[in-house]
A and B are shown apart, each in its own frame.
Chain A
Amino acid sequence: MDKQFARWIKLLFLLLAATAVLAFLMSIGELVRLVIIAALLAYILEPLASFLESRGLSRVMATAVIFIGIISAIALFVFLLLPTITHEIRSIQAGIQSGKATQLIQNLENFLQTRLAFLGLQNLNLSEKVHQVMVNFGNQIFNYLLNIVSLITNLVIIPFIIFFLIKDGREIKRNLIRLVPNKYFEFSLNLLHKMDMQLGNYLRGQFLDALIVGILSILALWLLDVKYFVLIGAFAGLANLIPYVGPIAGALPAIAVVILESGDMIRIVYIAIAFAIVQLIDNVLVQPLVVAKTVNMHPLVVMFVVIIGGKFFGVLGMLLSVPATGVLKVVIQESIANFRKYRFE
């Protein structure tokens, strides 16, 4: 009886401690977000550090080389892409106010109202709404990019965390494992190893896939002479992280830009064909090679988690919901599989 009471007290204490930790993490949500992004990037970059080590560099030197690469990429982003992107966002905001675009949206609204009257569509005020959404969206991104304090904090803190996670990641992992009681030690070690293999392949595959789709989209949009091709292509690459919804969501901005710019139906068809080709290349060539099949999820599950992610954490939540669910799936799957292989007495 005493033993059971002690166990309950222990459980209660653990629950209280977990709640306190969760509350603390929520109170420093911004920092947690930065740590998660940095940890994800460090995890993706880890094999690169190992590769450099295998070429004779020490861990510190390998980390330094990667770090210099990241800093160069950020510098490139700040000095070359940032002005282009801010200019592109400003242009989109201006473009929405052009007469042609308003006329097109008005036509679309009329079309919807006449054809879908039975659904009760009246006074949609589409142009006003689109205008409002675009202005808000543009302002938000523009303000975010120009919020120097937050930008510098992110650009300094993220590489800083990445540096130490790559350099000392193994030591941190070893020290964490040291805390595990002997009874669960081998189980935890095996579980971590299996999870590491599956998740590593999955996350690196997803990242590489998004990168390839992003580059292909930028190339296709550049060939089709679509304005803001860098921004839209990069968005298409990121959106590709969301299965089913992503590829369509990636093509929509390009189509919207052409509608707002010229309303040329032929170009819209070309863009749709270009994105279909990018998707074909992705599905036939890229995905079978780079994306691990171990984290296959049912389409319904994907839909649900994307909606839930979007509801709670916005666009970032939508982007990270599928990889996060993949992580959770592997954790549960491997825990169950490993639990059967060990005796806990």
Chain B
Amino acid sequence: MSDTDKPSLQQDPWYQLRRFTRARIALGRVGSSLPTKEVLDFGLSHAMARDAVHLPLDVDALEQSIQALDYQTLRVQSRIPDRASYLLRPDWGRRLHADSLAKLQALPKQPIDFLIVVGDGLSSLAVSRHVEPLLEAMKTYIPTEWNLGSVVIASQARVAIADEVAETLGAKMVAMLIGERPGLSSPDSLGVYLTFNPHVGCSDADRNCISNVRPEGLVYDAAAKKLLWLAKEALRLQVSGVALKDESDAVQIEVEDAPRLK
């Protein structure tokens, strides 16, 4: 093999486009394969994302930060005994532990318009970083006449555990704030799921989802605004999920355009 036949690192001249995305573009190639540096970088990111899945949520710290925003709090547990079971038995993660169910049932009944549940999900990092600022942003948009009850913090939780919590507490609507599965470039994405008339047995088609809430994704204020737009529409139409279309951006455009038309 002569020197000229040897594959060498071929760089991609569109490297500058990386400022528009965190996607792994313009990696270059050796022959048609990845450069060694990129293979190693990918391995490191994968190891970090794997760690995020197993990091337990610091519930005490979270509860204090939520209380500091003048929200009342409650803690519950799913039927999951440990993290390994969490990964293997999503059905257990969707249901309340008997003790937690009894605890909620024992509370004095009050009508709740909009219940907020926080669940660790697959990334406690997302919850510990983004729940407090999101709740703070939501305060601006939640109508003062709505009764929220307490913010319920659920451990080893899947999305649907919010249905059982909300049904037990008699809430009209529930917003579940939960850690999404960690990505290679984003170990801390928070997801929000809104369900009207929540009850055990609701399916994903009954929910509206806002994903990737974090400073590098959907910023707190935009997420809060979208969530409360959806919640008000859900209340007006008495439905959530695929029947409730998110046109919050159109509303915003109309409002912003209005003065210019005058």
Do A and B belong to a common assembly?
A: no
